[in-house]
Copies of this chain bind each other. A is one copy, B any other.
Amino acid sequence: MAASISEVAKHAGVSVGTVSNVLNRPELVAPETRERVLRSIESLDFVRNESARALRAGSTRTIGLVVLDVANPYFTDVARGVEQVADENDMVVTLCNSAEDTKREDRHLQHLEEQRVRGVLITPVTEQCPRLEPMIARGIPGVLVDRGSGQPNRCSVAVDDRMGGRLAGAHLIDQGHRRLGFVGGPMSIRQVSDRHAGMRDAIEATKGLPRLRLFEQASLSIQCGREAGQQFDGLSERRRPTAVFCANDLLALGFLQEMTRQGLRVPHDIAIVGYDDIVYAGAAAIALSSVRQPREQLGRAAAELLIEEIGDDGSHRHRQVVFEPELIVRDSSVTK
């Protein structure tokens, strides 16, 4: 349907090679000819066929980004960072959503490889992603996002979750709390257990060893936050924690909602700190304190590592970049 380069050539009275040159190296073409060709392109509605281009040239200008959940603000921010760097390097990003399903992840990786993308940024569904290894072996570099502690054979970017847990724990202890709670789960997710471990670190660094009670949840959802809150309801006032650290903001929002429903005042009766600092954390009726990860920066760094690896002249060394999170203190954790 769309015109091809040879029709443009015929229309402009030149050879196909010349049209290609107008497209790719216009400085090689005499200005007058160039103009004529451009006019033909215009009038024939020519659109370059990327498949043919990629086939002949042997490579695309695309990188793949496979995330666990496009609806999660965490990943959309990472994606924003990736896109910025891609733009700067004149590359385009294909965003894929694995929806935490290894089947979908597999299909996407397969498709990306068939498309001959130059590289892939991925947060694999499981800690070990079987498709990734052979892909890297075939020469398509892959950078792990928020994964891959101790994989020296590839690049990765991550945020120090244990440190995030320490920040949250230390803050609550600082505020005078001695009966603490941790809401989160499943503990099989590294991020969750790291955040928990970080909180333990903070406790062990404190005289008198504050008590920590674990409220393990099935997932990191708002609903589970509510359920954690209901578990609270059964505890006597003397025994229940005066402060909780939630493994992410969804849990914290659900928990906060349930506290309000039970008539407990936040932060007076119970202090709350979340994790991720999603926009809705600051927008909660009682603005939520939260541990912020440099998400956009994470995406930028990942993309930069990948692009360095793509344009490798032999000097590339795999690196594991770890960022530090930051505690944002708001109303939900400080009694004035």
Contact = CB atoms under 8 A, between A and B. Distances in A.
Nearest to A111: B92
Nearest to A80: B71
Given A70-B95, A253-B280, A52 B55 contact: yes
A164 B286 CA distance: 29
A14 interface: no
Contact of A71 (B77, B96, B138, B250): B77
Interface in A26-84: 45, 47-55, 60, 70-71, 73, 76-77, 79-80, 83
Given A71-B73, A92-B111, A280-B253, A51 B116 contact: yes
A47 B114 contact: yes
Given A71-B77, A79-B70, A94-B94, A47 B113 contact: yes
Contacts of A96: 95
Contacts of A49: 55, 114, 116
Given A51-B60, A257-B283, 7 more contacts: A45-B138, A50-B51, A50-B114, A222-B279, A256-B285, A257-B285, A260-B286
Contact of A257 (B47, B256, B287): B287
17 contacts: A45-B134, A45-B137, A49-B55, A50-B51, A50-B111, A50-B115, A51-B60, A53-B114, A79-B97, A94-B94, A222-B279, A253-B283, A253-B284, A254-B283, A256-B285, A260-B286, A284-B285
Q: When A and B form their complex, which 9 residue pairs have the shortest distance between CB atoms, in order from nearest?
A: A285-B285, A71-B76, A50-B114, A51-B54, A1-B139, A51-B55, A260-B285, A280-B280, A51-B51
A73 B2 CA distance: 36
Interface in A261-309: 279-280, 282-287
A24 B173 CA distance: 64
Interface residues of A, number: 51
A97 B77 CA distance: 12
Interface of A: 1-2, 45, 47-55, 60, 70-71, 73, 76-77, 79-80, 83, 92, 94-97, 110-111, 113-116, 134, 137-139, 222, 250, 253-254, 256-257, 260, 279-280, 282-287
B139 A2 contact: yes
B285 A47 contact: no
Contacts of A139: 1-2
A34 to B, nearest CB: 20
B286 A114 contact: no
A32 B280 CA distance: 60
Nearest to A254: B283
Given A138-B1, A138-B2, A283 B222 contact: yes
A60 B250 CA distance: 39
Nearest to A52: B55
A179 to B, nearest CB: 23
